[in-house]
Amino acid sequence: MNNVFHFIAHKTSNIMGSSWAFIVALAIVVGWAITGPWFGYSDTWQLFINTGTTVLTFLMVFLIQNTQNRDAHAVHLKLDELIKAIGPARNRLIDIEDMEDEELEKFELEFKKLRERLDARKRPSQHQHPHL
């Protein structure tokens, strides 16, 4: 069941993310708007587009979330593999996305301090003159 859902979600995501899907959706909305006077801008006419877009949006949320989850999971696995492959890297960072917020904040602060130290090294001191 999961494989079938993934296949459908992946294909639908690719199709719905295309420029052709946007053009078709735009054409439907323009066609709906043009028919307004013919239907007298009735409640049924308005209900048609509201119901259609609501149902489509509802279904697309699940498909988009599925593809986002799979993509994020794949990226995490790739990053975990890189961390594992680099000798001096800390293996504690593998599965960092599952850590508590406090642990993440500690790592974030540590990397912020590291960036600041590296930036300070890159800046020429006031006593040095850059070469022209």
pLDDT at residue 131, rounded to an integer: 58
pLDDT at residue 86, rounded to an integer: 85
CA-CA distances (angstroms) from residue 124 to 112, 115, 117, 121?
20, 16, 13, 7
pLDDT at residue 127, rounded to an integer: 56
pLDDT at residue 126, rounded to an integer: 56
Round to whole Å and give the CA distance between 126 and 75.
43
Sign of torsion over alpha carbons 113, 114, 115, 120: positive
Round to whole Å and give the CA distance between 132 and 116.
27
**Residue 85: partners with Cβ closer than 8 Å, 6 or more residues away:** none
Contact of 8 with 1, CB cutoff 8 Å: no
Contact of 76 with 97, CB cutoff 8 Å: yes
Round to whole Å and give the CA distance between 128 and 132.
12
Each residue's pLDDT, cut to its tens digit, for the chain (132 residues) gives 878 888 888 888 889 889 999 999 999 999 999 999 999 999 999 999 999 999 999 999 988 898 888 899 899 888 888 888 887 777 777 778 888 889 888 888 988 998 898 888 887 665 555 555
41 phi-psi bin (left φ>0, alpha ψ -120 to 50, beta other): left
